[in-house]
Amino acid sequence: MTVEFGTLEVGQEIGSATIEITRQDLVKYAGASGDFNPIHWNESFAVGVGLPGVIAHGMFTMGAAVQLVSDWVGDPGAVVDFQTRFTKPVVVEDTTAEPGAAGAVVEVRGVIGALDDAEKTARVDLTVMYGGQKVLVKAQAVVKL
């Protein structure tokens, strides 16, 4: 998909996505990122340190959310900035006994929040929800068009 700057308007939706996360996804991410903290794969450890259960890596959640923007613009290199604040953990239930079942479902929606004519950039504001609560706030990606 080719997005043209002149066709964009503040408030315009770019789309939405449903992200299904399994513990296997977390193990794969741990291998790719090198983040093997047991809160991301070991239930008893996570609960033992006061968490409600195994939680997704913050950077995994952040990366999964910005995928909506990359897909929309059609070029991951066009995303020149992405920032957010983490507010709530994404608890990923153990679904190994139910092949194909998601341990957590995250909903992402994107809206054009600002346009910069001089730079030909669009700021995409993301709403990232899990269990009816925002898990990322001020999630904003800047796209150079």
- Check residue 100 and give its pLDDT: 84
Averaged confidence pLDDT in the chain: 96
CB-count burial class (<10 Å; 0-12, 13-18, 19+) for 7 = exposed
CA 142 – CA 104 distance, rounded (Å): 27
Q: Is the pLDDT of residue 63 over 80?
A: yes
CATH code for position 26 = 3.10.129.10
Domain, as residue range, for 117: 10-94+102-144
Look at residue 69 and tell me if it is in a domain. Answer: yes
Look at residue 2 and tell me if it is in a domain. Answer: no
pLDDT class for 96, splitting at 50, 70, 90? confident
pLDDT class for 1, splitting at 50, 70, 90? low
**Phi, psi of 92, rounded to the nearest 5 degrees:** -110, 110
**Three-state secondary structure call for residue 36:** coil
pLDDT tens-digit map of 43-57:
999 999 999 999 999
CA 92 – CA 53 distance, rounded (Å): 7
